[in-house]
Amino acid sequence: MYKRQLELLAEFADENEQVTFYKQGEWGDLCAGPHVDSTGEIGPVKLLEIAGAYWRGDEENPMQTRIYGTAFEDESDLENFLERKQEAEKRDHRRIGNEMNLFSIQDVTGPGLPLYHPPGKTVLKELEDFVEDLNQDAGYDYVETPHVFKTDLWHRSGHYENYADDMFIFDVGDDEFGLKPMNCPGHAAIFQDQSWSYRDLPIRYAENGKVYRKEQRGELSGLSRVWAFTIDDGHLFIRPDQIEQEVEEIMDMIIDVLETFDLEYEMALATRPEKSVGSDEIWEHAEEQLENVLEKRNLEYDIEEGDGAFYGPKIDFAFEDAIGRAWDGPTVQLDFNMPDRFDLSYVGEDNEEHEPVMIHRALYGSYERFFMMLIEHYEGKFPLWLAPEQVRVLPISDANLGYAYQVANEFDDFRVEVDDRDSTLERKIRAAHDDRVPYQIIVGDNEEEDGNISVRDRFEDQEYDVEIEDFHDHLVTERDEQRSEPDFLQ
């Protein structure tokens, strides 16, 4: 029963450290402390979770039961905390995803393998289009690669030796294949397929590439942690003298994306992990280049020791979700190893062969995780440009159905629906609100006679006698400017 305490005492004895012991009534234990003098000093208490935890945080150790709780100075602070906690749960993307028919993850199709339903894919499609526009402007060329490769490729890239535990690998006849956990080897193979001059670089490849990683079962969670996900991937093949310029340009793209979604972000430099390929010199040089960019632009950043990819150091961006947790997403990774393994080269000004530098980058990170974050960030109330259903027309009675369809037709460049069910206006408004539709158009006899509409937004503001054209013009602007809230009535 006191095995753990004895283990700790033995260690303290070895290190000649002072031992502290705390008592509370009849109960006592080793503790670094400090403790309150009496439990009476603790304010309102609420127990929150009960969970297993590895002894001293090591997977190899046995598990112990840990009880989580919180305490506040007075009752109202505790209530406040619990309310905010409940508020956060309301934003849960799994709950909203279900309510809005965005996606499902089903037993029959397997764990961590999300299915996107039409409304969810509509949002994803907008996200894809947005980043594709950015890529076009920045000189990227789109490529496409299969989901499966022979493991020869994974041996060559180093994934087999460093990443096989997380890969789906299977035999087909006498050959061994693996689902791709990353898109880079495929892109490297494309680059390798022809010869390049120093004048051609940088070469920038982009792909919305689906990848597969066999995460531990207990880690899977909604869209935030899955087995199959899509990266808005980009791989650059550049000359060493182009590093700083290219990294800077990518960082501008990332910041552009994050600001479009009004996201607070932080960045961090992740350095060499234990399991990695390449020489010390290569790693030091790579880390130095990234630091230079960060220093040069006077950006604040953390350093995450040993958190880099096995092929190179990276700059990771993190943003906050509704619960205030930070998620990884956008990333810029330098890679001095893949070019070596694939024997990549270009002919320099000196007519000699040189090795290009590779950059891996993603603006969203994975669509899945970014989508999840957006759902919670907006609580499902997407900006107009993202909303699965942008406008809903509500006829006051069946007599106005014809006019309702006529009006909807005027908005056929938007995602518009007519609520043609037999029910009261109140019910239709309620339903549109529950479905988080940004705008409702209400048409009755008055509107039909005047040839105009009434407009209502999801803030419950409304306006009568609106000209169809005026509202349509506004919608176009609001959508194209990617405004974050419906503002026709604001």
Q: Which of residues 428-457 bind RNA (CB under 7 A)?
A: 429-431, 433-434, 442, 444-447, 454, 456
> Looking at beta carbons only, is 112 or 239 nearer to RNA?
112
The pair phi, psi for residue 329, each rounded to 5°, is -155, -95
| Interacting residues with RNA between 297 and 316 (CB under 7 A) | 309, 316
Q: Which is nearer to RNA, 3 or 199 (CB)?
A: 3
Q: How far is CA 410 from CA 270, 406, 413, 468, in A?
A: 52, 7, 8, 8
Binding-residue total with RNA (CB under 7 A): 72
* Closer CB to RNA, 186 or 444, in the complex: 444
User: Is residue 331 at the binding interface for RNA, with CB under 7 A as the rule?
Assistant: yes
Stretch that binds RNA, among 62-70, 125-133, 276-284, 382-390 (CB under 7 A): 62-70
Inter-residue contact 391 to 475 (CB < 8 Å) = yes
Give 204 or 456: the residue with its C-beta nearer to RNA.
456
Residue closer to RNA by CB (options 126, 233) is 233
Residue among 218, 281, 412, 490 that touches RNA (CB under 7 A): 218
Please give the Cα distance from 223 to 299 (Å, whole number). 31
Toward RNA, which CB reaches closer, 446 or 482?
A: 446
- How far apart, in whole angstroms, are the C-alpha atoms of residue 136 and residue 195? 23
Helices then strands, counting H and E runs in the chain, come out as: 15, 24
Is the Cβ of residue 221 or residue 406 nearer to RNA in the bound state?
221
Label the pairing between strands 439-443 and 148-150: unpaired
Q: How far apart are CA 336 and CA 9, in angstroms?
A: 47
Site for RNA in 407-426 (CB under 7 A): 421-426
Using CB under 7 A as the binding rule, whether residue 63 contacts RNA is answered as: yes
Residue 192 as a binder of RNA (CB under 7 A): the answer is no
b/e sequence 189-199, b meaning 16+ C-beta within 10 Å: bbbeeeebebe
Binding mask 100-119 for RNA (x = CB under 7 A): -----x-x--xxx-------
Between 21 and 464, whose beta carbon lies closer to RNA?
A: 464
In this complex, which beta carbon is closest to RNA, that of residue 19 or of residue 323? 323
Residues 20-59 that bind RNA (CB under 7 A): 49-54, 57-59
Tokens representing residue 226 in the block: 């899955």
Nearer to RNA, 2 or 459 (CB): 459
Q: Which residues of 382-418 are buried (b: 16+ CB within 10 A; e: fewer)?
A: bbbbbbbbbbbbbbbeeebeebbeebbebbeebbbeb
**In a 3-state reduction of DSSP, which class is residue 50?**
strand
Q: How far apart are CB 353 and RNA at their closest, in Å?
A: 31
Count of Cβ atoms closer than 10 Å to residue 427 Cβ: 13
Q: Which of 23, 66, 90, 483 binds RNA (CB under 7 A)?
A: 66
Question: Which CB, 21 or 55, lies closer to RNA?
Answer: 55
Given candidates 73, 241, 464, 470, which one binds RNA under the rule CB under 7 A? 464
Residues 6+ apart with CB under 8 A from 151: 160, 169, 175, 176, 177, 178
Residues between 257 and 296 that touch RNA (CB under 7 A): 273
Instruction: State in angstroms the smallest separation of the CB of 141 from RNA.
Output: 23
Length of the chain, please?
A: 490
Contact 401, 347 (CB under 8 A): no
For tokens 């990266």, what's the residue? 231
Closer to RNA by Cβ: residue 270 or 386: 270
Please, which residues bridge with residue 63 across strands?
54
**274 vs 350 by CB, closer to RNA:** 274
Q: How far is the CB of 175 from RNA (least distance, A)?
A: 26
The token pair at 27 is: 């109960």
Among 5, 80, 98, 279, binds RNA (CB under 7 A): 98
Q: Which of 7, 133, 252, 398 binds RNA (CB under 7 A)?
A: 398
Residue 70 Cβ vs RNA, minimum distance, rounded to whole Å: 13
* Residue 219 lies near RNA (rule: CB under 7 A): yes
Give the residue ranges of DSSP H helices in 379-467: 401-410, 425-434, 445-450
Is 239 near RNA (CB under 7 A)? no
Provide the sign of the torsion angle of the four alpha carbons 312, 313, 319, 324, taken in this order. Answer: positive
Q: How far is it, in rounded angstroms, from Cα 153 to Cα 161?
A: 12
- 215 part of the interface to RNA, by CB under 7 A: yes
Distance, CA of 47 to CA of 50 (rounded, Å): 8
Q: Is 366 in the site for RNA (CB under 7 A)?
A: yes
C-alpha 467: how far from chain center: 40
The answer to the question of residue 87 lying near RNA (CB under 7 A) is no
Interaction between residue 390 and RNA (CB under 7 A): no
Helix ranges, 261-390 (H): 280-296, 338-341, 367-378
Shortest reach from residue 201's CB to RNA, in Å: 26
Q: What is the DSSP letter of 412?
A: T
Is the distance from CB of 27 to CB of 14 less than 8 angstroms?
Answer: no
Tell me the window of 78-86, 91-99, 241-249, 286-294 that interacts with RNA (CB under 7 A). 91-99
Single out the segment in contact with RNA by CB under 7 A; choices: 76-84, 223-231, 249-257, 478-486: 223-231
70, 221, 345, 482: which one binds RNA (CB under 7 A): 221
Question: Do 466 and 417 contact (CB within 8 A), yes or no?
Answer: no
